[in-house]
DNA sequence: GCGACCATGTAACATGTTACATGATTTT
DNA sequence: AAAATCATGTAACATGTTACATGGTCGC
């Protein structure tokens, strides 16, 4: 029912990011940390080899660019083939459900009784965590989408940020609903 | 911010399942397919080696049980050490956010305009998918928790099923909110 | 000159998926 | 007798994380 699949999504994300603007592996690494870090993660040790493979496959090319005296950066850009590949991926169906591997949810599964003394502290800890994440996402929304023009220019990003905010908001609400249980810690 | 970490959660889930009742690797495999498939997945090729490692570590033991003429099953059970390890894991904080790697969300990120003709079909496809999942979860809830006694006996499971239902319910609602966009397919 | 950051890689290891492999039991 | 299911494993491969490794640039 849930298939993650070995589908190498990373390559498409890189293509998508390069579709927005030419950039280096370092820039892409930063983008994964800040720009889309809420939705996908990848470290530079995955990104650099993947860039090499994409170039070999003919989906991207690069120009060397010198900074200062001799620091050589590789600025990557999509080829026509890469653009086609990206568009094909986006248009393709996504018929698979996502497996959310949430450790807290898993631990809850093994809590048998509403009177278990561990329940209260666990719920409080998660409320704290998700309330912080909610605040972070709301801050991001204010930052990235200060006006309608920003929304119109990156509508998909706006949608998924809104979705993430609502999801966290619901998560916190659900946690708080049972917060009063076992307040004895 | 999001750390998945190489924490080998599988071992704890196996301990948790064995804590509920002694069973074979085959039974555990089935449990991952049906019982907790909504929350975690693992295939038999992960489970059997992990059982061997847990036994070597002294967290579980097994008795051979003969079925029919000569089919030998290994029925695993927790040791006192395994029980301790399980309890320690549940009590431990879970301070890390879960990275939800949802391919559809990722694709949306690269949709720049509300007028993109791909948007409507994508939203409809996902609505279908998540509405089905929602129905499946609701069916599970009716099946597993037909009365208050069932809830009292597996309270954590009840909580996470409720959470998953509400999450899917919100997901569908959010998708439908933008469903009217680009109805030209 | 020093520290923070820019910039690019590889190595080792852990985890997860798909395929390969075998044989017994039960149901139709 | 055949098909479905029970039952247990290994192998090959893909993905993802942490650590190792190196050197340049920029601001103070």
In chain B, whose CA is at the least distance from the CA of A95? B129
Residues of B in contact with A104 (CB under 8 A): 94
Q: Work out the minimum CA distance from A68 to partner chain B, whole angstroms.
A: 33
With residue A53 as reference, give the H or E element that holds it: helix A44-57
Q: Are B76 and B61 in contact (CB under 8 A)?
A: yes
Q: Work out the minimum CA distance from A108 to partner chain B, whole angstroms.
A: 5
Count of CB contacts below 8 A, A vs B? 164
Cβ < 7 Å from strand C, B residues 17-56: 41-43, 45-46
A155 is written with which tokens? 């509508």
pLDDT at B5 over 60: no
Residue nearest to nucleotide C7 (CA to C1'): A26
Mean pLDDT of B59-75: 94
Q: Are B156 and A111 in contact (CB under 8 A)?
A: yes
Mean pLDDT of A95-104: 90
Residue nearest to nucleotide D14 (CA to C1'): A6
Using the Cβ of A148 and the Cβ atoms of chain B, whether some distance falls under 8 Å is answered with no
With residue A135 as reference, give the H or E element that holds it: helix A119-144
- Three-state SS for A14? helix
- Tell whether the torsion through CA atoms of A141, A145, A151 and A153 is positive or negative: negative
CA geometry: angle A176, A165, A172, nearest 5 deg? 5
Using the Cβ of A43 and the Cβ atoms of chain B, whether some distance falls under 8 Å is answered with no
Q: Work out the minimum CA distance from A139 to partner chain B, whole angstroms.
A: 15
Confidence of residue B4 (pLDDT cuts 50, 70, 90): very low
The phi-psi region of residue A170 (left if phi > 0; otherwise alpha if psi is between -120 and 50; otherwise beta) is alpha
**Closest Cβ–Cβ partner in A9, A111, A116 for B103:** A9
Confidence of residue B63 (pLDDT cuts 50, 70, 90): very high
**Closest Cβ–Cβ partner in B2, B40, B118 for A91:** B118
pLDDT at A4 over 60: no
Residue nearest to nucleotide C11 (CA to C1'): A45
Cβ of B64 less than 7 A from strand C: no
Q: Which residue in B55, B48, B52, B53 sits closest to B32, CA to CA?
A: B48
Mean pLDDT of chain B: 93
* Interchain contact, B156 vs A9, CB within 8 Å: no
Per this entry, what is the length of chain A?
185
- Three-state SS for A140? helix
pLDDT at A183 over 50: yes
* Interchain contact, A94 vs B122, CB within 8 Å: yes
Confidence of residue A71 (pLDDT cuts 50, 70, 90): confident
Using a 10 angstrom Cβ sphere, with 0-12 exposed, 13-18 middle and 19 or more buried, the burial of residue A184 is exposed
| Rounded Cα gap, residues A114 and A117, in angstroms | 8
Using the Cβ of B112 and the Cβ atoms of chain A, whether some distance falls under 8 Å is answered with yes
Q: Are A110 and B156 in contact (CB under 8 A)?
A: yes
Instruction: Check residue A2 and give its pLDDT.
Output: 53
In chain A, whose CA is at the least distance from the CA of B95? A129
**Closest Cβ–Cβ partner in A40, A129, A154 for B95:** A129
Mean pLDDT of B64-74: 92
What are B134-182's pLDDT values in tens digits?
A: 999 999 999 999 999 999 999 999 999 999 999 999 999 999 999 886 5
Instruction: Check residue B2 and give its pLDDT.
Output: 52
Give Cα A182 to chain centroid, integer Å: 35
Q: Which of A72-76, A99-103, A133-137 has the lowest mean pLDDT?
A: A99-103
Tokens 């009177």 locate to A115
């Amino acid at each position: 029912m849930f298939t993650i699949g070995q589908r190498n999504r990373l390559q498409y994300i890189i293509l998508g990011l390069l579709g927005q603007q030419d950039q280096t592996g370092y820039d892409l690494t930063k983008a994964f940390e800040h720009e889309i870090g809420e939705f996908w993660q990848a470290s530079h040790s995955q990104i650099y080899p993947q860039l090499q493979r994409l170039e070999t496959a003919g989906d991207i090319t690069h120009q060397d660019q010198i900074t200062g005296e001799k620091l050589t950066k590789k600025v990557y850009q999509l080829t026509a083939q890469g653009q086609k590949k990206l568009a094909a991926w986006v248009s393709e169906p996504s018929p698979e459900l996502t497996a959310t591997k949430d450790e807290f949810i898993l631990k809850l599964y093994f809590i048998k009784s509403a009177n278990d003394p561990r329940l209260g502290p666990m719920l409080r800890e998660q409320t704290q965590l998700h309330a912080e994440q909610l605040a972070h996402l709301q801050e991001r929304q204010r930052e990235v989408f200060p006006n309608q023009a920003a929304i119109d220019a990156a509508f998909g990003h706006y949608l998924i940020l809104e979705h993430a905010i609502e999801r966290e908001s619901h998560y916190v609400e659900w946690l708080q609903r049972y917060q009063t249980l076992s307040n004895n810690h």
